[in-house]
Structure 1
Amino acid sequence: MPRKRTFNIDDFVAAIETHYRQWDAPIITFIANRGASPFEVLVSTLLSLRTKDEVTGPAAERLFKVARTPEAMIRLTPEAIEKRIYPVGFYPTKAKRLLEISRILLDRYDGQVPDTLEALTALPGVGRKTANLVLVEGFKIPAICVDTHVHRISNRIGYVNTKTPDQTEMALRKKLPKRHWVRYNELLVAFGQMLCRPVSPFCSRCPVTDMCPQTGVDRHR
């Protein structure tokens, strides 16, 4: 077996960047790149929780046909929102959350989405993962959004050694150069969806196999 070269985060990101051009962008990045407002990014991110990208995109599009702002959202009933966003995961709860958040934005923020982690995580149903993704995709503010792909891959490549996504975020905040913060989630989500799968990843097609220790990989393709 060829000897692995020393892992370098800049080389890793550059290699993923090169191959990323051939892959589909994660759904929130795709929506943001089409000119979505911070509110639309926030709504789309909430819809995406526990939901596949191929379900999130059409659901967001159906909802945005009738409500692209907090003002428009509060004119809808929970049932009307449910009908638009079905079959996203937990759609009845998400419909109520969207109305609640829209009212808070109108009451406290003049209808605008706040651009700080503290204010975003104070909104009902918005955790650190969602808040960080809104900062990155809605405002292009450097933040580290750690979902299952970022957590898994950051550990698999040996860049961090953590047990939970929250631990991974804190470790990356200390270690990951800030120049990579905005793109890190986008790149690793696409990488995780296409090649670096949770089970039996496609190591034979991976652009960083020569530097990856393949931590925790029992079998691969």
Structure 2
Amino acid sequence: MKREWLHVYFVMGSVDCNGRDPKDVLQEAINGGITLFQFREKGQGAKVGAEKRDFALELKEICKRHDIPFIVNDDIEMAVEIEADGVHIGQEDDSFTFVRERLTPGMVIGVSCHTVEEAAEAVRVGADYIGVGPMYFTTTKKDIREVKGPEVIRQIRHAGITVPIVGIGGISVENAWAVLESGADGVAVISAISKADSPVAAAESFSRCIEKVQRTNG
């Protein structure tokens, strides 16, 4: 996969938008410069079954119109059914081998990692990218692991792991710089965009942060 896909990685479901229409929030985020979208329909009040699938298809169509890759969180069967660009799985989800066998060839697989050991194993089995976190405290995920901060990304890079990395967990425009400087290719955010007064402005701010880091390190 292309590393630049991870630059501004927006994660969202219907329960993350403070009552706003998720389709409008996604469109604004795209207008602001997000580079990849993950459909994560979880939490109290989340859609299930056919309603979830139809909702995913609506968001996928918006992404398709703007050439934004569409990733599905955890739901392997639905990802294949709606022809998503890939899936993202956690350490507690189905095994990588199980997932790979069920996906259409060419679909991306991202894996959540929290330690150097988990990152090394993800690379060994063939993950296309890894999501490392939580970078900072977040209330979005109820099953949050211990906050490791950007240092864990630095440790992963020092271990010689070169796979694309996106930092996730409590990331804001104010602390994104530290995550990128530690060796991440991008930042994954939920509420910093989905619950912003202006999702387009929030996405633009993250895009500018990425560009600034690239210029500084270029």
**Please, what TM-score do these two structures have when normalized by structure 2?**
0.29
Where is the strand percentage greater, Structure 1 or Structure 2? 2
Where is the helix percentage greater, Structure 1 or Structure 2? 1
**Please, what TM-score do these two structures have when normalized by structure 1?**
0.29
Instruction: Find the structure with the greater CA-based Rg.
Output: 1
